[in-house]
């Protein structure tokens, strides 16, 4: 392994000088700088990041903490898109990314405390949060820099990048109501996620504002899996007063919903309209093409890295949370106006 000393010797200067050349120290003669840089290139020298980290107390690395049942996340296109946004900006800013996950629920702080106390990363990106999240408490107690992608109810001051998910669900529901629907159901996600909670609230708000009944039979909770949507339909459609429209928490879940409806012999959108969330690439190719709220997934990841780097630089955060705008993409699955309603 070739070190800073080797370069120094070859260039006829001291190791300190080489170090200064590497870090573009202002008070170094351009002559010396050029000479040293030439030799570094010739020798294909790269600084040892571990040594650098040890003295600088900085790692140029960001940690990504995946929530525990990563299985679910990984089955979701949404996650890939988020990761893509993260990687793009981190790479651009010369940061490395360390991927970590909770090892077991019995010891859920284990992974995070290894990262934090082992000084392996400069800051942490939290992908999603539970309604009560000990990881956030831990990071706040440690005063360790982090950004949450999502929203925390219990830690309102935590730096967050999120959509306005009450509003996303409000918009989706209102769109269906505007088509004349009076009985709108909601296929939700895991109840311990803030995301599910917020969207449920937005859904209820929209019904209330329209003076429509909320009916608990029209709300079902599940997971972010196609199977979840698939299974929920037999129950829904057998209700005496079944919904004529559905808001579905996630595109994948909506695929399961569409499949179940097809098997049960219902037509979308004529028999029942569907709007979901995330607008993954596949939504457009579903049968029928799926109306979906585009939440700017890539932008969420990208922005989260920007915010975290600001924190690391000690910059002031002009606003918190940072809200990524969403918009409803209307496709065939909700393009059906109920008769008798203008």
Partner DNA sequence: CTGAAAGCGCTTACAG
Residue among 113 and 320 whose Cβ is closer to its own copies: 113
Residue among 27 and 41 whose Cβ is closer to DNA: 27
- By three-state DSSP, how is residue 23 classified? coil
Binding of its own copies by 97 (CB under 8 A): yes
Candidate residues 111, 125, 136, 206; the one interacting with its own copies per rule CB under 8 A: 111
Give the containing element (helix H, strand E) for 61.
Answer: strand 61-66
Residue with tokens 């309603």: 341
Residue among 30 and 216 whose Cβ is closer to DNA: 30
Compute CA 4 distance to the chain's CA centroid, rounded to the nearest angstrom: 40
- 238 DSSP assignment: T
Give the bridge partners for 220, in sequence order.
187
Site for DNA in 101-160 (CB under 7 A): none
Candidate residues 55, 141, 285, 342; the one interacting with DNA per rule CB under 7 A: 55
Site for its own copies in 232-261 (CB under 8 A): 252, 255-256, 259
Binding of DNA by 51 (CB under 7 A): yes
- 107 DSSP assignment: G
Candidate residues 25, 38, 117, 327; the one interacting with its own copies per rule CB under 8 A: 117
Residue among 51 and 317 whose Cβ is closer to its own copies: 51
* Residue ranges in 15-62 assigned as alpha helix (H): 15-22, 30-43, 49-56
Q: Which does 130 bind (CB under 5 to 8 A by kind): DNA, its own copies, none?
A: none
Candidate residues 230, 277, 302, 336; the one interacting with its own copies per rule CB under 8 A: 230
Site for DNA in 16-45 (CB under 7 A): 16-17, 19-20, 22-23, 25-29, 31-33, 45
Q: Radius of gyration (Cα) for the chain, nearest Å?
A: 26
The DSSP line for 160-207 is EEE--HHHHHHHHHHHHHHTT-S-EEEE---TTBHHHHHHHHHHHHHH
Each as own residue / partner, the long-range contacts of residues 263-270 (CB below 8 Å, 24 or more positions apart, any chain) are 264/233, 264/234, 264/237, 266/237, 268/332, 268/333, 269/332, 269/333, 269/334, 269/335, 269/336, 270/336
C-alpha to C-alpha distance for 19 and 15, rounded to whole angstroms? 6
Binding of its own copies by 93 (CB under 8 A): no
- Strands 61-66 and 123-127, by their bridges, are parallel
Q: Which does 283 bind (CB under 5 to 8 A by kind): its own copies, DNA, none?
A: none
Binding of DNA by 13 (CB under 7 A): yes
Which stretch, 46-54, 229-237, 267-275, 323-331, contacts DNA (CB under 7 A)?
46-54
Burial (CB < 10 A; 0-12, 13-18, 19+), residue 234, is exposed
Q: Which does 74 bind (CB under 5 to 8 A by kind): its own copies, DNA, none?
A: its own copies
Q: Quick check: 277 and 78 in contact, CB under 8 A?
A: no
Candidate residues 5, 12, 42, 54; the one interacting with its own copies per rule CB under 8 A: 54
Contacts to its own copies by CB under 8 A: 1, 44-51, 53-54, 59, 61, 64, 66, 70-71, 73-77, 79-81, 83-84, 87, 91, 96-101, 103, 111, 113-114, 117-120, 225-227, 230, 252, 255-256, 259, 262, 281-282, 285, 287
Contacts to DNA by CB under 7 A: 1, 3-5, 12-17, 19-20, 22-23, 25-29, 31-33, 45, 47-48, 51-52, 54-56
């Amino acid at each position: 392994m070739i070190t800073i000393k080797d370069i120094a010797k070859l260039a006829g200067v001291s190791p300190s000088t080489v170090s200064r050349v590497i870090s573009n120290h202002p008070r170094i003669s351009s002559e010396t700088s050029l000479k040293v840089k030439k030799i570094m290139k010739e020798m294909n020298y790269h600084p040892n990041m571990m040594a650098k980290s040890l003295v600088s107390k900085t790692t140029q690395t960001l940690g990504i903490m995946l929530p525990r049942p990563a299985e679910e996340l990984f089955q979701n296109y949404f996650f890939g898109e988020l990761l893509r946004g993260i990687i793009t900006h981190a790479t651009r800013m010369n940061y490395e990314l360390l991927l970590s996950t909770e090892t077991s629920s019995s010891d859920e702080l284990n992974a995070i405390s290894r990262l934090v106390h082992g000084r392996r990363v400069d800051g942490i990106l939290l992908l999603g949060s539970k309604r009560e999240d000990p990881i956030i408490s831990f990071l706040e107690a440690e005063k360790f820099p982090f950004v949450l992608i999502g929203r925390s109810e219990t830690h309102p001051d935590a730096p967050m990048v999120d959509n306005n998910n009450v509003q996303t669900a409000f918009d989706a529901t209102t769109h269906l109501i505007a088509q004349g629907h009076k009985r709108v159901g909601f296929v939700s996600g895991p109840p311990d996620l803030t995301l599910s909670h917020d969207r449920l609230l937005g859904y209820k708000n929209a019904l209330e504002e329209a003076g429509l009944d909320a009916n608990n039979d029209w709300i079902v909770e599940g997971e972010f899996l196609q199977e979840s949507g698939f299974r929920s339909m037999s129950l829904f459609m057998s209700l005496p007063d079944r919904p004529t429209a559905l808001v579905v928490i996630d595109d994948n879940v909506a695929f399961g919903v569409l499949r179940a409806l097809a098997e049960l012999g219902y037509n979308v959108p004529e028999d029942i309209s569907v709007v979901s969330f995330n607008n993954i690439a596949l939504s457009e190719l579903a049968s029928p093409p799926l109306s979906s709220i585009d939440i700017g997934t890539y932008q969420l990841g990208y922005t989260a890295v920007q915010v975290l780097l600001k924190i690391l630089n000690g910059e002031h955060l002009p606003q918190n949370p940072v809200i990524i705008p969403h918009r409803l993409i209307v496709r065939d699955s909700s393009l059906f106006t109920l008769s008798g309603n203008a």
